[in-house]
């Protein structure tokens, strides 16, 4: 595995890329659909998606983006041998690093998996109906700004709802308001803690999110 560090003079940012160019060139020659995965934290969905599509000739997750320099997804990227680009929120808004990377890695489709920043308009315009997100509840309930991770599961618990689930949706200019592609429900028991709910939702995510991506792209 090669480790590339691009200096701030050249790229306008601290940008770390962990690469196996040989592997990338091999898969790119078959013209697969290249996917960039965006995550802000743990990255368990990112890992699950990358492993699901391992050796898939058609779908190739070949780039990871994160806005957090200490996100565990960076460690996962190293272990998975996938390039990982770390950017600051201002660099997402500015767009130069993102556009350069998208061009360099010939990205066709974007998957948000636990990514907490708003996607800027230029990216939505570059990828019309080609950016999807997973939300850990049944939208339109429990969505919007600030509704992520444990906040969502706590809100579900507090609501007394007897079911929750996952929603995969296209990304538009508003948080969690894009067209819904897929939902799957799971029961919530009165005895479930927010952690129990989170576990049930994660299990759904791991089972269904890669399959939804596959169905969309093949």
Given the residues 4, 54, 135, 202, select the one marked as catalytic.
Answer: 135
Q: Which one, of 138, 137, 122, 135, lies nearest residue 173 by Cα? A: 122
| Contact residue for ligand GRF among 32, 61, 83, 136 (CB under 6 A) | 136
Nearer Cβ to ligand GRF (34/164): 164
- Using alpha carbons, list the distances in angstroms from residue 152 to 45, 173, 196, 211: 17, 21, 13, 23
- Is 135 catalytic? The answer is yes
142-181 footprint of ligand GRF as x/- string (CB under 6 A):
------xx--------------------------------
| Cβ atoms of residues 143 and 153 within 8 Å | no
Tell me, by CB under 6 A, how many residues bind ligand GRF. 15
- Our CB check for ligand GRF shows the closer of 32 and 136 to be 136
> Interhelix angle for 149-159 vs 194-217, to 10°?
120
**Residue window 29-68: x/- pattern of binding to ligand GRF, with contact defined by CB under 6 A:** ----------x-xxxxx-----------------------
162 Cβ partners below 8 Å, 6+ apart?
187, 188
Residues identified as active-site? 135
Question: Can you give the binding site for ligand GRF, defined by CB under 6 A?
Answer: 39, 41-45, 113-114, 134-136, 148-149, 201, 205
């Amino acid at each position: 595995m090669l480790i590339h560090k691009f200096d701030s003079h050249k790229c306008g940012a601290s940008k770390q890329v962990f690469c196996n160019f040989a592997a990338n060139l091999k898969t790119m020659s078959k013209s697969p659909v290249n996917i960039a995965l965006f995550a802000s934290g743990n990255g368990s969905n990112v890992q699950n998606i990358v492993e699901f599509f391992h050796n898939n000739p058609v779908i190739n997750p070949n780039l990871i983006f994160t806005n957090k320099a200490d996100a565990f997804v960076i460690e996962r990227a190293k272990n998975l041998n996938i390039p990982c680009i770390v950017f600051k929120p201002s660099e997402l808004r500015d767009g130069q690093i993102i556009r350069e990377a998208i061009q360099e890695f010939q990205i066709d489709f974007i998957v948000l998996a636990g990514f907490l920043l708003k996607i800027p308009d230029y990216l939505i315009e570059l990828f019309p109906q080609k950016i999807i997100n997973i939300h850990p509840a049944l939208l339109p309930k429990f969505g919007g700004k600030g509704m992520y991770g444990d906040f969502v599961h706590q809100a579900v618990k507090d609501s007394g709802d007897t079911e929750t689930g996952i929603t995969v949706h296209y990304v538009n200019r508003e948080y969690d308001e894009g067209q819904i592609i897929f939902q799957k429900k799971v029961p919530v028991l009165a005895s479930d803690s927010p952690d129990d709910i989170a576990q049930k939702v994660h299990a759904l995510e791991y089972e269904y999110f890669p399959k939804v991506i596959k169905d969309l792209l093949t």
